[in-house]
Amino acid sequence: MSSIEIIALALGALTIASALMVVLSMHPVRSVLYLILTFFLISANYVLLNAQFLAIVNIVVYAGAIMVLFLFVLMLLNLSKDNEPRASNIMKLAASLAAGALVIVLVAALKDAIYLPVVENVQGNSQGLVENLGQLLFTKYVLPFETSSVLFIAAMVGAVLLSKKEKQIID
Amino acid sequence: MLRSANFVGLLYLNLMSDVQDYIPIVLQSLVVLAFVVGTLVFAPKLGPKLSSAKKDANWECGIEADGNARFPISVRYFVIAILFVLFDVEVIFFYPYAVNFQALQLEGLMAVLIFVGFFLTGFIYVLKKGALEWEK
Amino acid sequence: MDTGLLIEKIVLIVLLFAVSLGVAAYLTLLERKVAAWMQDRIGPDRAGKWGLLQPLADGGKLFFKEDFIPANADRFLFIIGPGLAMGFAMMTSAVIPWGPNIQAFGRDIALQVADVNIGILYIMALSSVAVYGIMIGGWASNNKYSLFSAIRASSQMISYELAMGIAIITVVLMSGSLSLREIVDAQHGFWNDGYFTWNFFKQPIGFIVFFVCTVAELNRAPFDMAECESELITGHHTEYGSMKMGFFLFAEYVHLFIGSAVISALYFGGYNFPFMDYFSGNTLAILGVLAFFVKTGFFIFVIMWIRWTLPRFRYDQLMGLGWKKLIPISIVNMVITAVAVAFASGWFSTDKKDQTEPASAKMEVVADKQKLTLNQSTIKH
C-alpha cells in the first residue's frame, strides 16, 4: 500500500466519522458544525483527487453559503427546550426502518463503484484544475451551463415568493 | 526525530506536485489548531473563578432578562441568505471563465454575456419585486 | 519536495504566525493612537515609551481575567465560537506571497507558505467561513443583543461577499490566473509599455468596490453592525471575557492586517515597486517585502482613518449599498472590462488573418502539461 493510499483511507475514515457525528449529535447547531467539518474533509478528498477547483468551490458554496442558510433556518425555528418535539418509540422504529431501507438501496446502487480503483488512476489526471475545467465548461458543456442560469431564475422566483408571504402576515 | 522527518519527506515524494502544494496549508492548520485549542484550554485556568445566580445571568443592559434568546428571527434574513446562495453559485461560474478568458476567445465571451444577461434578468426581477427592500 | 523544503515551510509558518500575532497586537495600540491623534488626544502613554508596552499589558490582563460563561449559554458552542473566529483568521495568510524569492543557506526560498493555483479563491473561501465565529458565538451566548448582532453581521458579510467576488473576477480576467503569486507578478515594476502595471490603474472601479467590501467584511465602522456599541452593547462578544474575548478582538485585527495585505497584493502590485529592475537577489527580496509592508500599513491606516471619520450606516442603507449599488456596479464593470479587452485584442475584427490563435496554443500547452504529468507518474510506478 502506497502512502497516498494510506492518506486517502485515513481521510475517508475521518470524513465518515464526522458525517456520522452530524446525524448522531442531538443538538441541531452542533450538527451543522459537524457538517461544516465534513465539507472541509470532503474538500481535502477532492484535493487528493487533484480536483482543486471543485475542492475550493465546495468550501465557498457548501461550507460558506449553504451552511449559513442552514443556521438561519435553525435560528428561524423556535429552538427552546420546552417545545422540542418528542419522538415516540414507534416513530423511532419507523425512522430506523426507513433509513435502513435507504442504506440497502444506496449500497445496491453503489456496489459496482466500490471495486473501482479510486486513487491511483486519478493522480495523473489534471481535469479538475481550473484551466481544464473552464475549457470543458465553455466549449463542450456550454448548453448545460446556460440552462443552469434559467434554473437560478426559477429559484429566485421561489425566494421572492417567500418574502411576499411575510408581508401578508405583517399586514 | 530524524527518522520521523524522513518519513514525512517520503510521503512528500509520493504525492504529485499539485497535491504537494497543499501540505504547508495542512501544517499551518495544525499549528493554528494547536494554538487555539491550547489557549482555550489553559487560559481559563489562570483567572479567578467565582459564581452566583445573579452573576452568571446574561447581561442585557442591567435590566433583568425576559425569556431567552431562542426566538424566531425575521424571514428577511432567510431570503437574503437564499438569494446569496443563488448568486454566489452564479459568481463562482465566472472564475473558470476568467482564467480561460484569452483562450476561449469570442465564443466564450458570447456564452458569458448570455449568462450575464440571465444573471441580470434574475437580479432585476428580485429588485423589482422588492425582495431586497428592508422596510416598507 | 524533500525534508529541507519541509523544514523551510515549517520555519516560514511559525514566522508568519508570530508576525500575524505581533502585528495584530500592535494594531490595537496603533488604532488607539490614531483615534487619539484624530480626536486631538494623547492616547496610551503610560506603559513604556509612547505606550509601546501597552499591547503586552492588555494581553497579560486578558489572560488573567476570569473566564466567564453565562449560566444559560450553550457551553460547548460558547467555547467553540471564538476558537473558530481566531482559527479562520490565522489561516488566511497561507497563500499570500510576501516577497520575491530569497536566497539563504544555499536554497531558493519562496516567501509564501503555499503557492496553490486557486489562491484567491482560498481567501474568498476563508472569508466566507469567517462568519461562523461571530454567528456561533453570538447564538451560543443566549443573549438577545448577541443574537441580533450575530444575524446582522452574518447577513451583512454574505451580502458584501458577492460584490467582492465579482470585483476579483476582473482582476483574474486580466492576469489569467487564480494564483496570487501570478497575479502579483503580472503587475511587475510600476510602468510598462506606456501605462502603469498595477491593477489599481487598470481597475479603479473594481478597486473601490473591493475596498468597500473588504471594510464591510472586516465588520469595521462604518459597517460595524456586529458591534454597534451604542445599540447592541458590542454585540456578539457582550458575554465574553478573558482570552475568549481576546480571540474575537485579535481575530478582527488579524483580519485587518491580512485584508490590507490582500488589497495591496491584488491592486497595488504586492511586493512590486518602481525601479525594481535595478536590484536583484536578496536586496530585491528585502526591498520587496518592505514595499509590501509599507503598502499594507498604508491601507491599515486608511481603514482606521475611515473608522474614526464616518458614522455608522443604518441597517437598510447598508444592505441597500451592498445589493443595489455594489453588485450592479461590479458586474457592469466586469462586462465592460471583458468587452474592452476583447476589443483591444481584435476579436471583433472581421479580418481573421490578423488573429493569432491562442486558443489552440493554450490547448497544446495543456496537453503538454498532461503528458508531462503522465510521464512523471509512469516513472514513479
- Residues C228-286 pLDDT 10s: 666 677 777 878 878 888 888 889 899 999 999 999 999 988 888 888 778 777 888 88
Give Cα separations from C41 to A167, C32, C308 (angstroms): 49, 10, 13
Gap between the Cα atoms of A117 and A1, Å rounded: 13
A153-162, B55-64, C215-224, C252-261, range with greatest mean pLDDT: C252-261
Query: Which residues share a beta bridge with C107?
Result: C104
User: How do the residues of chain B divide into helix, strand and coil, expressed in percent and rounded to 5?
Assistant: 70, 0, 30
Instruction: Please determine, for residue C361, whether its predicted confidence score (pLDDT) is greater than 70.
Output: no
Gap between the Cα atoms of A51 and A58, Å rounded: 11
Instruction: Please determine, for residue C377, whether its predicted confidence score (pLDDT) is greater than 60.
Output: no
pLDDT at A170: 45
From A169, which residue of chain B is nearest by alpha-carbon distance?
B75
**pLDDT of C155-191, one tens digit each?**
888 889 999 999 999 998 888 888 888 888 888 877 7
**pLDDT of B102-125, one tens digit each?**
887 788 888 888 889 988 998 898
Domain ranges of chain A: 1-78+101-124
pLDDT band at A97 (very low <50, low <70, confident <90, very high): very high
From C318, which residue of chain B is nearest by alpha-carbon distance?
B134
Grid cell 418574502 is found at: A163
**pLDDT of A11-56, one tens digit each?**
889 999 999 999 888 888 888 899 999 999 999 888 887 788 888 8
Question: What percentage of chain B has pLDDT greater than the value 70?
Answer: 77
pLDDT at A114: 62
pLDDT at C362: 45
Q: Which of A78, A138, A152 sits opposite B108 (nearest CB)?
A: A138
User: Distance from B46 to chain C by nearest Cα, in Å?
Assistant: 5
Mean pLDDT rounded to a whole number for chain B: 77
Q: Which residues of A touch B104 (CB under 8 A)?
A: 134-135, 138-139
Q: Torsion angle, CA of C306/C312/C317/C321, rounded to 10 degrees?
A: 20
Judge whether C229 and B50 are in contact, CB under 8 Å: no
Which residues in A15-37 are b (16+ Cβ under 10 Å) and which e? beebbebbeeeeeebbbbbbbbb
Region at B60 (left for phi over 0; alpha for psi -120 to 50; beta for the rest): beta
User: Distance from B125 to chain C by nearest Cα, in Å?
Assistant: 12
**pLDDT of C201-217, one tens digit each?**
888 899 999 999 999 98
CATH class name, domain A1-78+101-124: mainly alpha
More confident residue, B20 or A126: B20
**pTM passes above 0.90:** no
Query: Which residues share a beta bridge with C191?
Result: C196
**pLDDT of C4-42, one tens digit each?**
788 888 888 999 999 999 999 999 999 989 999 888 888
Judge whether B58 and B65 are in contact, CB under 8 Å: yes
Helix segments in A28-121, DSSP class H: 28-48, 52-57, 67-76, 89-114
Gap between the Cα atoms of C151 and B80, Å rounded: 11
- Residues B34-50, mean pLDDT to the nearest whole number: 85
Angle formed at CA C146 by CA C92 and CA C307, multiple of 5 degrees: 60
User: Distance from B113 to chain C by nearest Cα, in Å?
Assistant: 8
Using the Cβ of B77 and the Cβ atoms of chain A, whether some distance falls under 8 Å is answered with: yes
Residues A135, C369: C-beta atoms closer than 8 Å? no
Gap between the Cα atoms of B111 and B102, Å rounded: 14
Question: What percentage of chain C has pLDDT greater than the value 70?
Answer: 90
For β-strands C195-196 and C107-109, DSSP reports them as: unpaired
pLDDT at C144: 81
pLDDT at C230: 67
Q: Which residues of C touch B50 (CB under 8 A)?
A: 66
Gap between the Cα atoms of B73 and A75, Å rounded: 6
Region at C346 (left for phi over 0; alpha for psi -120 to 50; beta for the rest): left
Instruction: Please determine, for residue B16, whether its predicted confidence score (pLDDT) is greater than 70.
Output: no
Judge whether A128 and A51 are in contact, CB under 8 Å: yes
